[in-house]
Amino acid sequence: MISLVQLLMEIQSTPKAIFMAGPAGAGKTFTLNKLGVKGFTMINVDEDYEKLLKKELGKEDFASMSPEELSQAAKLMGQARASTKEKETQAISTLQNIIIDGTGAASKPLLKKKQELENLGYKTFMIMIYVSPMTSLKRNVERGRSLPTSAVLNSWKGLVSNIDLYKQEFGDNIVIVNNDPEDVDKSFDPEKIQQLFPMPVGKPKTPEELAKSKAEKEKTNQEIKSLIDIEQQFDTFDEAKQKVNNFVK
């Protein structure tokens, strides 16, 4: 029969993994610091990517890049992913507590990683940060490395469409925090967005490519309009902090 001391030692030695999920400009770093989570190794591809962009291109803002620079930036992302994967592998091999920072837009790789970590003995948790599309777009252009408008919207759509799935998979181990400002603009007007947040000029496209791109954009816009109408349920900050503290202690 296991003793109380052995049980406490087992609980204390159980490694923990927190998945951060949120679109561009959600304020994940700000929220994480406010929640007071410490002692975790951060796994974030953006950190390595920003260093590579500064080193190789001398800039981070995609909107100011030429088509050739955008092509090079895409290749640099591959390098950043490789170095981040190496850091993650090292952290997991030594059973460190980790935070995996991402958007949550793609559920399959995230849930696969969740299962892999749990198979290794990790306990898992998700902190999801929600903001409206216009908040995401506005904050995106205010930061040093702004993403293309289409990437921001696709990220938002992917995350919000996965909310119910993540609730099901993480059970009690998930908090969803609304990080919209008090004067949030909850509208979604594609024409207005195109005027306020123009896309960078990429390589010339064929008529077929243009038609495909237009159809995909219209489909994304319709899906976002439908998702905005869903009334989401959020944790208050105090509730989120309590649940996170209970998980990390």
- Taken in order of first residue, the domains within the chain and their CATH numbers are 15-248 (3.40.50.300)
pLDDT tens figures, 72-103:
888 888 888 888 899 999 999 999 999 999 99
d(C-alpha 74, C-alpha 244), whole Å? 35
Give tens-digit pLDDT for 219-232: 988 999 999 989 89
So what's the pLDDT on residue 200?
63
CA distance 43 to 36: 17
Q: What residues contact residue 125 under an 8 Å CB cut-off, 6+ apart?
A: 16, 17, 18, 19, 170, 173, 174, 244, 247
Predicted TM-score of the model (pTM): 0.85
Between residues 106 and 10, the one the model is more confident about: 106
pLDDT band with cut points at 50, 70 and 90 for residue 12? low
- Interhelix angle 149-161/163-170, rounded to 10 degrees, is 50
- Could you tell me the end-to-end alpha-carbon distance of the chain, in angstroms, rounded to an integer? 25
